[in-house]
Structure 1
Amino acid sequence: MELFMSLAVGILFAVGVYLILSKSLLRIVLGTSLLTHGVHLLLLTMSRLKAGSAPLLGEGAERYTDPLPQALILTSIVISFGVTSLFFVLAYQAYKKLGTDDMEQLRGQEHE
């Protein structure tokens, strides 16, 4: 199972980097979102996937799952949702003002 999760993390990172390197502002925002999802899966995989045990059973439990990675991932999901929505609003406002989402045109003529 951890091998499949590692492959999924690699695919998410590859697709995210590919989208970030494109010229469209919308693709860049989606690429950052995919990178954050890759980080979420990476954190989950690094904490070792355990099945069949509760997060906390008490002090005398033989098996338990560490709840810290799940709490970190939940916090990261909330933060990435806020950042992604902010990026979408900024991209929409830039498109509304300038009429394009092409990064080369957004950069302007003086940088060429």
Structure 2
Amino acid sequence: MTASFVMAAVLGLLFAFGTFLLLRRDVVRVVWGITIISQATNTYLVTMGGFAGSVPVLAGHGHGGEGAVQDPLVQALVLTAIVIGFGTTAFALVLTYRVYEEHGTIDLAALGHEEPDADVDVEGGETQ
């Protein structure tokens, strides 16, 4: 019972910290907030999948015994989510770097109040 309470407290802190970072004005902190929340979700899913039971691969060959077998589907889905999350985080950080190169800031408030250039038309070409 205490392990479940500790895991619930740690997951609550991770979700709270990720939400705190999401509410910041810095784009990099927002990206890290999303990453922390996604990893907390993955940890939650693995925790709810349970740790009881034997290894599914060896259970049929006599090594795992006749007891309960742990469901490998949860672990496979979380592993897939980790890989996709890593790619998404890398892409978001590259986009953040591109925004910094283009605008000179990654502050969301400054980016939201920026006026469009008057010498560039809608199609992206220079006006005469």
Does TM, normalized by the shorter one, top 0.5?
A: yes
Which residue of structure 2 lines up, in the alignment, with residue 28 of structure 1? Answer: 30
Name the structure 2 match of 1:94: 99
Which of 8, 22, 25 aligns to 2:10? It is 8
Q: Report the 3-state secondary structure (helix = DSSP H, G, I; strand = E; otherwise coil) of the residue aligned with 2:46.
A: helix
* Structure 1 segments unaligned to the other structure (5+ residues): none
Task: Structure 2 unaligned segments of length 5 or more: list them.
Answer: 116-128
State the 1:109 CA deviation. Answer: 4.2
**Cα offsets for 1:22-81 (capped at 9, x unmatched):** 100010000000001110111011112326x21331298322211111101100000100
What amino acid maps onto 1:75 in structure 2? T
TM-score by structure 1 length? 0.88
Aligned-partner residue type, residue 97 of structure 1: E
Match for residue 69 of structure 1 among 56, 69, 74: 74
Cα distance in 1 for partners of 2:99, 2:4 equals 41
TM-score of the pair, normalised by structure 2: 0.78
Percent of aligned pairs sharing the same letter: 38
Instruction: Determine if the alignment matches structure 1 residue 106 to structure 2 residue 111.
Output: yes
> Aligned partner of 2:110: which letter?
Q
Q: Secondary structure at the match of 1:101?
A: coil
CA RMSD of aligned residues (A): 1.8
Structure 1 consecutive aligned stretches of length 4 or more whose deviation exceeds 6 Å: none
